[in-house]
Homo-oligomer: A and B are copies of this chain.
Amino acid sequence: MVEKMKELVESWSFLDAAESNFRPLVVIELAKGTKEETIEWFTKRIVDKKANGGAQLLIKPLVTENGVENIYLVGASHLRLLLGAETVGLVKECSDNSMRTFTYSSRKTFKHFADDNHNFLTMAECQYIIKHELENLRAKNEKMIPGYPQAKLYPGKSIVRRLLTSGILVQIFPLHDREELKKLSHSWYGRVKVGYQPLDDIRCYFGETIALYFGFLEYFTFALIPMAVIGIPYYVFAWEDYDKYVMFATFNLLWSTVILEVWKRMCAILTYRWGTLLMKRQFEEPRPGFHGVLGINPVTGREEPVYSSIKRQLRIYLVSLPFVCLCLYFSLYVMMIYFDLEQWALDYDKENESVFSSLMLYVPSIIYAVVIEIMNRIYRYAAEFLTSWENHRLESSYQNHLILKVLVFNFLNCFASLFYIAFVLFDMKLLRQSLATLLITSQILNQFAESLLPYWLQKRYNRRMKKRMCSKKTDMDLSLAEQVNMEKEMGTYLGTFDDYLELFLQFGYVSLFSCVYPLAAVFAVLNNITEIYSDALKMCRVYKRPFAEPTASIGVWQLAFETMSVISVVTNCILIGMSPEVDALFPDSKMDLVLTVALVEHLLLAIKFIMAFVIPDKPRDIQMKLAKLEFESLEALKQQICLACL
């Protein structure tokens, strides 16, 4: 223990001597016209020693042809990064293949560690460490940001967050590694190939959250293939017998439970390999937008803004909840207009019976699908505004409230018309047609709006940029200054929320009415294959590199998908019960039919819950490895006590 400390003390004090080669990792862009004293103070704090409350990082201004432009490059010495890895609690693989929390003193036991191996930490990890250190740069006695009296500070306040909210700091983003990116994009989407995505490489480059999304997308696509394969003959041979549909639906329901349970295991395998399964949760600081009167946090005992929980509850229940209900009502109102239009188109077709009029039959559905997408997007902004106005202290609580709001609305907005057609109009033909139109239109719109449009805009912008620079260099030959200038103009990737949401709605289209339209799974598979490519393109070419974010699971989305699969049991059972073929099996008594359907539904639900309970969330070998680590830490604790008795 003592030796370890000594070693650590030495290593920290040797830090200054070790600044040999500066490798830019993160870019800080300050607003134009930021005062000199502010810049001086901020850079001093970044460079300053840990003991003086600094971040002990390296910083260099970016010099371009136009001179200094308030853009700074941040890096750190290899030693500093290793110490930072210990602070953020990175978990790396040891020489004996077990995963352990990295500590500087035990560094020699880790795989691929060598004092001169600067690739021991991936670039994404280094950037994550720097981001963590920058965000944890806290005010000491400063009452305000020097030069900006209106930007108040209090002891312990994150300086970077205050700079961001007061607009002095425009953005912080990690730099792309052009060479790595080229390699990655080649193996990821560069060639048409059958096979898996290079998830480990994606994780090394973009971090765990994004790699896990692509892992889920890939897993989900593979999991849909059996459903798609079974669904194709229904279309090809035009099977309309409901006993075949019953088989298909039953398979679907059990299959969707199995895939969600198996995903948990897959996820555990991935995140164990990446080390995030073992990473300890860090204490959550207030989120950037959180504001309140300065008070004492009862948990930390530190001075920070506090905001009464009752006020927040009032805002949630008196403003947000009514607003969401109003939006839901509006969405239902739009739905009723759609049905009027649909009726009008039918009448028109009957009257005219031309090619034009029969094409017109599809118009209301397409318009409705477009309107749904537009409403979803507008509501999204409103939900974000409201949730941020609710003033949640933690980012996680903010995210949960936002996701709940968005999910409820999107679910109703996308599926209400289908429910109405199925359970009020009892029109299976219309249901099938609507389902197909909605699914396909939303997929096309999404692909276009999410990836192709930004890609095209970005490409056009880049071409202009290059023209302005009057050079015909390829991306690889760009100077650092040019690279930074190009990347800082790229869009910011706003997280995996929209991507998961899209998958969630797709899962709804596939599973809720699967017994009516087995072809949905086929479209979903086709969409997801192109989705992988377009999302990959988006990550690599369209957006700024995002900071890596360690995560151990897909979080609340697992719950959302599971809820959807429970709802789909209910809808499918009702649909099957309503079918004329099943109806014909109970010629005497409708009661028996309904009771049988209800019984089957309850049995299916029971089987689902039992399956979810019986299938372990982690594979046996991961369980063993976790147990081993727990055992070791308990033994180490005992050793500490026992050492003393000798």
Residues of A within 8 A of B (CB): 1-2, 5, 8-9, 12, 49-51, 83, 86-87, 280, 282-283, 298-300, 570, 590-591, 594-595, 598, 602, 624, 627-628, 630-631, 634-635, 638, 641-646
Contact = CB atoms under 8 A, between A and B. Distances in A.
A631 B9 contact: no
B87 A638 contact: yes
Contact of A51 (B283, B627, B645): B645
Contacts of A87: 638, 641
Contacts of A9: 644-646
B570 A602 contact: yes
Contacts of A51: 645-646
Contacts of A644: 5, 8-9, 12
A634 B282 contact: yes
Nearest to A559: B613
Contact of A594 (B282, B594, B602): B594
B631 A300 contact: yes
Contacts of A50: 642, 645
Nearest to A591: B590
Nearest to A570: B602
10 contacts: A8-B641, A9-B646, A12-B644, A50-B645, A280-B634, A299-B627, A299-B631, A300-B628, A591-B594, A598-B598
A5, A8, A644: most-surrounded residue (chain B CB, <10 A) = A644
Contacts of A300: 628, 631
A9 B643 CA distance: 8
Contacts of A283: 630-631, 634-635
Contacts of A280: 634
A645 B12 contact: yes
A83 B641 CA distance: 9
A282 B635 CA distance: 10
Given A8-B641, A300-B631, 5 more contacts: A8-B644, A51-B646, A282-B634, A283-B635, A298-B624
Contacts of A282: 634
B299 A628 contact: yes
A170 B598 CA distance: 56
A422 B6 CA distance: 76
